Amino acid sequence: MRLSRTLTATVVTALALLLTACEGDYPQSSIDPRSDFAQTIHTLYVDIFWWTMGILAVVWIAMAYILIRFRDRPDAPEPKPVHGHLGLEIAWTIVPALIVVAIAIPTIQAVFSTQQGDPEEAMVVDVIGHQYWWEFRYPDHGVTTANELHLPSGRPISLRIWSADVMHSFWVPMLGGKRDANPLRLRPEGVDQKYNWIHLTADEAGVFWGQCAEFCGASHALMGMRVVVHDDSGFQQWISDWKGEPVPAAPADAAAVASADAEASLVRPAALQIEAGAEAASVPQEPALAAADPLVERGREVFHSNTCIACHAINGTNAQGAIAPNLTLFGRRVSLGAGWLENNPDNLRRWITAPHEVKPGVLMPGVAQAGGNWPATNLTEDQVEAVAAYLLSLK
Ligand code: CUA
């Protein structure tokens, strides 16, 4: 008796502790939709969940009835042997078939409704998977960024998804996915490129977490991203800041802006070739320097006189490399290493010093390790500190 009481107490305590783990913030929850796309998937999921609960209830009630009604009793007669029952067999073939059809109809509807974009209205963003980071290009704006996708809320977005190397999959559970990012280079020349698309409208401003959802190599699990959804003026501000331009006056007619964007968004495949790289086409101009911090100045010098600029671009500078993340406005990013580390000076120094230790398989060379085709950078500790300060000053 005592033992069973102890056991009960232990089980109840363990369950209570387990349930407290359900409290908290889940930035990658797949049951907390914040876009029309995610809502469609969620509605389908909840509908099917209640279907299965209904089936569970019917099965359990029938089972309980059978267990009680037909249990063996001391004076019970021998049960009558039964062989086959046509009615039952028809019933348990037809009923599951009907259930499957009832689930299939809304599922197929959801598949088609999430494939339909609104190319007239939508802003196109290229989402390009790389081992192991994400590139985002805004062909309407000539803007390129990495690992943090900035979007306006309440406006239709068409994400045109592809890959620069192997297969990846774009997945931001609260907004949309999963959609494979397929390598374009595998297609024979002259064959129309087949992109995958996600069409969505984000409900509200916020920061949403995402993750590569297709095994793509050693650091697949470390290939995350953030989506920063702004209100419309916040998004315009971000674009203007990226270009180093003054913010345009608030448009009197948002629809006019949308249609102007749609015109500009006509697909321009030539500009999208990987070789063409970052269409960081806006006129180079000196970015506003975080004036006269000698460490930042020194970092700027080190960055721009080393191999960093062979791969990385920073708008408004001579760094125009197009094979690694574009670092414009890097100081605003909340994460680094594709959503893997918090963006702060300590982590950034760690990353510049030994990126392979953070992310196995990364192409970026470290201070003492080669990476990709690049030799080790041989930066001193002071130089690393200065470069980190410079990058964090890019806001
Ligand atoms: Cu990219 Cu997994």
- For 34-68, write each residue's pLDDT tens digit: 999 999 999 999 999 998 999 999 999 999 999 99
- Please indicate, yes or no, if residue 4 is contained in any of the structural domains: no
Residues 248 and 207 in one domain: yes
Atom of ligand 1 nearest to the CA of 221: 2
Based on the fold, state whether residues 129 and 270 are members of the same structural domain: yes
pLDDT score recorded for residue 27: 84
The answer to whether residues 129 and 107 belong to one domain is: no
Domain CATH code at residue 270: 2.60.40.420
Does residue 137 line the site of ligand 1, with CB under 6 A?
no
10 Å CB burial of residue 274 (0-12, 13-18, 19+) is middle
Tell me the helices (H) and strands (E) count for the chain, helix number first.
11, 12
Work out which ligand 1 atom sits closest to the CA atom of 215.
2
- Retrieve residue 372's tokens: 């990709």
Alpha helices in 70-225 (DSSP H): 86-113
Instruction: State whether the beta carbon of 224 lies less than 6 angstroms from ligand 1.
Output: no
**pLDDT at residue 11 in the model:** 83
- CA 320 to each of CA 281, 331, 347: distance values in angstroms, whole numbers, following the listed order: 10, 18, 24
User: Which among 93, 115, 137 is the end of a domain?
Assistant: 115
Looking at the fold, whether 297 and 351 belong to one and the same domain comes out as yes
Q: Are residues 159 and 87 in the same domain?
A: no
Whether residue 313 contacts residue 144, with contact meaning beta carbons closer than 8 Å, is answered with yes
Q: Is 214 in the pocket of ligand 1 (CB under 6 A)?
A: yes
Residue 194 has pLDDT above 80, yes or no: no
Residue 316 lies in a domain: yes
Query: 261 falls in which pLDDT band (50, 70, 90)?
Result: very low
Q: Where residue 87 sits, what CATH number does that domain have?
A: 1.10.287.90
Measured in angstroms, how far is the CA atom of residue 278 from the centroid of ligand 1?
21
For 319-332, the pLDDT digits (tens) are: 999 889 999 999 99
Let me know whether 269 and 131 are in one domain: yes
Report the share of the chain in percent with pLDDT over 90.
61
Which of 124-138, 174-188, 260-274, 299-313 has the weakest average pLDDT? 260-274
Q: Which of 274, 303, 322 is the last residue of a domain?
A: 274
- Band (pLDDT 50/70/90 cuts) for residue 376 is very high
- Residue 216 has a pLDDT of 96
Please say whether the beta carbons of 217 and 131 come within 8 A: yes
220 CB under 6 A from ligand 1? yes
For ligand 1, is residue 339 a contact (CB within 6 Å)?
A: no
Position 50, amino acid:
W
CA 213 / ligand 1 centre spacing (Å): 6
Residue 353 lies in a domain: yes
Residue 23's pLDDT is 64
Give, using CA atoms, the residue closest to atom 1 of ligand 1. 168
Q: Which domain-ending residue is among 249, 274, 299?
A: 274
Residues 53 and 179 in one domain: no
Residues 29 and 139 in one domain: no
User: For residue 136, what are the β-bridge partners?
Assistant: 127, 145
Cα 142 to middle of ligand 1, angstroms: 26
Asked whether residue 235 falls in the same domain as residue 267, the answer is yes
Per-residue confidence at 118, pLDDT binned at 50, 70, 90?
low
Residue 129 CB partners (closer than 8 Å, separation 6+): 135, 161, 162, 163, 164, 165, 166, 167, 168, 169, 170, 181, 212, 216, 223
How many structural domains are present in the chain? 3
| Structure token digits, residue 355 | 């990126």
Report if residue 290 sits inside a domain: yes
Residues 268 and 165 in one domain: yes
Long-range contacts for 352-358 (Cβ within 8 Å, ≥24 apart)? 352/379, 352/384, 352/387, 352/388, 353/379, 353/384, 358/222
Enclosing domain of residue 32: 23-73+82-115
- Ligand 1 centre to CA of 365 (Å) is 20
The answer to whether residues 109 and 67 belong to one domain is yes
Q: Which atom of ligand 1 is nearest to the CA of 214?
A: 2
Ligand 1 touching residue 60 (CB < 6 A): no
* Residues 103 and 129 reside in one and the same domain: no
